[in-house]
Each structure stands twice: as C-alpha cells, then as structure tokens.
C-alpha cells in the first residue's frame, strides 16, 4: 500500500488480545453474554460511585447511553479512528461470548492517523482493582499498537488526583511529560491532568 493510512485502515481491528492474566475482547453491536451492552451497564452500575470519581459521564449513564457509545466506538473502528476492548480476568478456561465471566473494565484507543499516534483511556470496576489487570491490559494494547499497527506514539492523560492510574502508566514504561492545565471538567471542577507517553523506540 502507498501510505500509512491505507495500511492502518486495512490492518486495524479490535481483535481479541490475551496473555496469562487478562483477555481483551473488542466491542460488538448487539452482542450477547459478558460483552453485551446489558453486561457493561450491569458492571458500571455495581461500581458507579467508584467510577464516577474520575469519569463524569458514568454518574448519569443508562443502557441507552451505553448502546450509543458502543455504536460510536464501532464506527470509529470502521473508519480506523479507534476502538474499545472489554477487559476480562482470565479464568482456568478460555473466555467465550457465552460464558458468565464478569466484565472487569474497558480500555479505549483514540487514533490520530496523521501523527501515527493514539491516546489510551480506561476504566476498571472496583472489585477488580489492585490485581494488576489494568497494567496487563495497557501492556497488551501497547504491544498491539506498536508491533501490529505500527503506531509511533501512545499517550495517557491522568487526573493529578488519580495516583493509581499514574502508577499504571509508570509500570507500563510510559514517561511523564508534563501537566495539561484544566484539562477536564470533572463533577463541576476543572482538573489538571498529568500527560504520559510511550514511543515505539522506547520498547523496540
């Protein structure tokens, strides 16, 4: 193919990614079981207070909003602009769409093709925190972004109050670059964010 955009749009998909700890499964519209909109809503409902501390959209979200967000991410994938993977903690047997494995969280990739870069964001249900799942998810998606998609740069933006998320970035090799002032309006207050990056040359 003549240019990177052609290569990327032909290559990019929210393929299932897995290691010994977690499995990432791409969002699909009208899916059933643990990757359905209903399962996502149920997981968020159980951790709504925990998640809404840093994710303002969570506080008032409902099943209709979740379905709209799923459609948006599927369109992003179709046009090579990004994607969303659901995170599952590995059990003894392989995860399938029909089993009862609970959803642990989600990780998103927002792609800027012109810069060969992407911004990662994520959330994790309260019951799955402190188990290293998000660290493994970020490592999996970073490897996919560099080795398969041939991106050059990944970014993470983390609230200055979210030490646990900043620790994930550090454990995954991301370098802190500085502060984005008043980056996000969270629960009525403008919040500074720490900016982290990881380059392909940092790991390859």
Domain-embedded: residue 190: no
Q: Considering the domain boundaries, does residue 182 fall inside one? A: no
pTM for this prediction: 0.91
Of 12, 13, 19, 14, the closest CA to residue 137 belongs to 19
Q: What is the DSSP letter of 13?
A: -
Count how many domains the chain has.
1
Q: What percent of the chain has pLDDT over 90?
A: 80
pLDDT of residue 2: 61
For residue 30, name the pLDDT band (cuts at 50, 70, 90).
Answer: confident
Taking every pair of Cα atoms in the chain, the longest distance, rounded to a whole number of angstroms, is 48
Mean pLDDT (the chain) is 91
Is the residue at 17 inside a domain? Answer: yes
Residue 56 belongs to domain spanning: 4-152
**pLDDT at position 59 over 80:** yes
Is 170 part of any domain?
no
CA dihedral sign, ordered 86, 92, 96, 99: negative
Please give the pLDDT value at position 97: 44
Structure tokens, 150:
């041939």
pLDDT per residue over 72-130, tens digit each?
A: 999 999 988 999 999 999 974 444 444 457 899 999 999 999 999 999 999 999 999 99
Query: What are the structure tokens assigned to 193, written together?
Result: 């964010």
Residue 159 has pLDDT above 80, yes or no: yes
Q: Which pLDDT value is given to residue 100?
A: 56
Considering the domain boundaries, does residue 158 fall inside one? no
Give 23: exposed, middle or buried? Use CB within 10 Å, 0-12, 13-18, 19+: buried
CA pair distance 169, 138, nearest whole angstrom = 8
CA-wise closest residue to 121 among 190, 53, 195 = 195
CATH code of residue 29 = 3.40.630.30
């Amino acid at each position: 193919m003549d240019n990177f955009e052609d290569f990327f749009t032909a290559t990019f998909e929210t393929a299932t990614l897995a290691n010994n700890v977690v499995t990432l499964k791409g969002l699909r519209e009208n899916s059933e079981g643990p990757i359905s909109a209903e399962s996502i809503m149920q997981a968020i409902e159980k951790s709504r207070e925990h998640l809404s501390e840093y994710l303002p959209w969570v506080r008032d979200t409902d099943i209709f909003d979740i379905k709209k967000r799923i459609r948006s991410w599927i369109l992003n994938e179709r046009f090579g602009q990004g994607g969303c993977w659901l995170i599952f903690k590995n059990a003894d047997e392989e995860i399938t769409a029909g089993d009862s494995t609970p959803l642990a969280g989600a990780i998103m990739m927002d792609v800027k093709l012109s810069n060969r870069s992407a911004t990662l964001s994520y959330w994790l249900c309260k019951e799955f925190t402190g188990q290293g799942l998000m660290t493994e998810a970020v490592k999996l998606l970073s490897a996919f972004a560099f080795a398969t998609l041939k991106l050059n740069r990944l970014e993470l933006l983390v609230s200055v109050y979210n030490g646990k998320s900043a620790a994930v970035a550090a454990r995954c090799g991301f370098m802190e670059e500085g502060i984005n002032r008043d980056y996000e309006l969270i629960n009525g207050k403008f919040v500074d964010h720490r900016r982290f990056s990881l380059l392909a040359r940092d790991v390859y």
